[in-house]
A and B are shown apart, each in its own frame.
Chain A
Amino acid sequence: MTSGTLTLVSTKDDDLPSLPVVPARHPWRWVGVAFVLVLAAQFVHGLVTNPAWDWPTFARYFTAQSILTAVGTTIVLTVLGTVLGFALGIVVAVLRMSKSPFLSAVGWTYIWAFRSIPLIVQLLFWFNISYLYQRLSLGVPFGPEFVSFETIALISPMGAAVLGLALHQAAYAAEIVRSGVISVDRGQLEAAAALGIPRFRQFRRIVLPQAMRSILPNAANEVISLFKGTSVVSVMAIGELFYQVQVIYGRNARVVALLMVATVWYIILTTLLSIGQHYVERYFARGDRR
C-alpha cells in the first residue's frame, strides 16, 4: 500500500529535484523604497536650493580657528568626563555590589543622589561653589586645619564642568558596570574562587572582560550622549562647540548656518565613536568567534 503511494508520487513529480527555485517576491518593498527615495531627494533638494541654509557662511565657519578650538574643548570635556566618570563608576559599582551592607549603602546612596540631581543644576552648583564655601581646607572637623585653599582658585569653570560631568557620569556608569557584572555566569565566579584566584584579580581578569560585552553598547551610548551633553556646560560660559556657535550667531545672526556647523561636527565625531565602538566590541567578543 505504502510503496504504491510512493510510486505514484515519484512518477508524478519525477522532475521535482531538477526544477529551478523562484524566490518569493516582495513588491511592497519596492513601493517603500521608492517612497523613501522621493522624500530623501526632496530633502536634499531643499538643502541645496533653499538659500536660507546659507552654505557659504557654513563653509566659512566650519573650519574656523575658533570653531576648531571649541571642538577641541568639547572633546577634552568628553574624554575627561568619560575617563573619570567610568573610573569612579567602577568604584561605585564595586561598592554597590559589596557584601558589606555599609559599603553597599554608600554605593547606592551615591547613585541615588547623582541620578536625582539634574546635570544642569549640578553644574551650576559646582560653578557657584565659591559663594557657598569661600575657602576649602583640610583638617579635623571642629579641630585644627592643616591646609586651606581659595575655592575660586581651586575650582576653575572648566574644573567645575569636568567635576560635574564626571560625578554625574559616574552614577550612570556604575549602574552600567553593575549590569554587566551581574550578567556574567555565576559558574565563572565559582571557578575563579575554586582556583583560589584573589578577589581583585578575579574582578579584573575574569569578570570585567566578560562583563565588557554587555557593558560596551550601553557605555558607548553614554559616551555619545555625554559628548552631545557637553553642550549643557555652555550655561557656564565655557568655550565648547555649542557655546562658541551661540557666541558667533549672537554677533552675525546667521543662526541656521552656525547651528549646522555644530550639528555636522557632532555627527562626524559621533560617527567616529560608533566606528570605534565596533572595533572595541569585536575585541571583547574574541572568545565568541569560531
Chain B
Amino acid sequence: MIEVLGVHKSFGALEVLRGVSLEVAAGEVVVVLGPSGSGKSTLLRAINHLEKVDRGYITIDGELIGYRRRGGKLHELKESEILKQRKDIGFVFQNFNLFPHLTALENVAEVAALSDARHFLERVGLADKADAYPRQLSGGQQQRVAIARALATRPKVVLFDEPTSALDPELVGEVLDVLRDLARSGTTMVVVTHEIGFAREVADRIVFIDDGVIVEQGSPGEVLDHPVHERTRAFLSKVL
C-alpha cells in the first residue's frame, strides 16, 4: 500500500531523514516511535508531500506521490495534482488544526457531502456536537472532529502525527478509543505517538526511528520487550 524508499530530507545543514525505507501493507497499523527530533514527524509529512523529500520516493498503491516518472526523470506535479493525491491520504495533526470559523459539522463537510459529514461525526461519537465551534469543544473532542474530517475524504491510509500530545492526560483516552476503533475496522494507519501502551495494544508493527534512520522494527512484543539495539533500549528505558 505505502512504499517509502531511500528517503532523505534536510532542513538547511540538518539532515533529518537519512535514507528511510518502509513498507506498510493494506489494513496494517504501524506505530512509529522515537525520541523527539528523530525525524518521525518529518517522515509522516513526507508521505503526504507536506514536506518535499530531497532523495528517494514514496508511492501509495503504486502511484508516485508528488512526482510523475517520464523518460528517466521525475517531474514535479502541479499543486492541483498533488492536492488531488492527498485525498487518498488522511492526516491528523498534533494541534488538530480545525477551522475555527466553522462548526464541527462544517469542518467535516468542507471535504464531504453533508450526510457523509454527519456519518463521520457519528463515527467518532460527536453527532451531538455538530453545531459547536471548535473553541466550544474540549481538546479531545476537537481531535475527534479532526479525525472525522481526515476520514471524510475516504482516504486509503490515515497518518496520525502525535494525535494525543497536545491533550490533557484525562482526554487522551477518548482519542485513543477512536484510533483503536479505526484499527479494528481495518483502516490502514501510520501513527507517530509516545503512547507506548497504545502501541503495544494496537500496533501490528512498531518502527523505531532515531537520528533519521529506522533502527529496528517488528511486532510490539519484539521491539518493546526484546529490543535488539542499544538505542532502542535506551529510549524505552526512558519512556516506559
Contacts and interface: CB of A to CB of B under 8 A. Distances in A.
Interface of A: 185, 187-188, 190-199, 205-206, 209-210, 284, 286-290
B80 interface: yes
Interface string B126-166: 00000001111000000000000110010000000000000
B158 to A, nearest CB: 11
Given A287-B134, A287-B135, A193 B99 contact: no
Given A198-B80, A205-B110, A287 B50 contact: no
Given A187-B95, A195-B86, A288 B100 contact: yes
A193 B86 CA distance: 8
Given A287-B133, A287-B135, A197 B83 contact: yes
Contacts of B79: 199
A56 to B, nearest CB: 53
A203 B201 CA distance: 41
Interface string B82-95: 01111101010101
B111 interface: yes
A190 B91 CA distance: 10
Contacts of B50: 190, 193-194
A287 B48 CA distance: 29
Given A195-B153, A196-B85, A289 B133 contact: yes
Nearest to B102: A287
A192 B149 CA distance: 11
A185 B101 CA distance: 13
A286 B135 CA distance: 10
Interface string B56-72: 00000000000000000
B101 A193 contact: no
Contact of A188 (B97, B135, B136, B153): B97
Contact of A196 (B84, B97, B100, B102): B84
Interface residues of B, number: 28
Contacts of A210: 99-101
B110 A286 contact: no
A290 B135 contact: yes
A34 to B, nearest CB: 44
14 contacts: A187-B97, A188-B97, A188-B99, A191-B98, A192-B99, A193-B86, A195-B149, A196-B86, A197-B110, A199-B83, A206-B99, A210-B101, A289-B133, A290-B136
A191 B101 CA distance: 14
A290 B102 CA distance: 13
A286 B84 contact: no
Contact of A195 (B85, B100, B111, B133): B111
Contacts of A195: 86-87, 91, 110-111, 149-150, 153
A288 B93 CA distance: 21
Contacts of A209: 101
B101 A194 contact: no
Across the A-B interface, give the 6 residue pairs with the lowest CB-CB distance, nearest first: A191-B97, A194-B91, A196-B86, A196-B87, A287-B101, A187-B97
A191 B111 contact: no
Contacts of B136: 290
A193 B95 CA distance: 15
Nearest to B48: A194
A206 B95 CA distance: 17
Contacts of B84: 196
B81 to A, nearest CB: 10
B105 to A, nearest CB: 13
A193 B83 contact: yes
Contacts of A191: 91, 93, 97-99
Contacts of B97: 185, 187-188, 190-191
Nearest to B159: A194
Nearest to A213: B101
A199 B153 CA distance: 17
A286 B101 contact: yes
B99 A196 contact: no
A187 B98 CA distance: 9
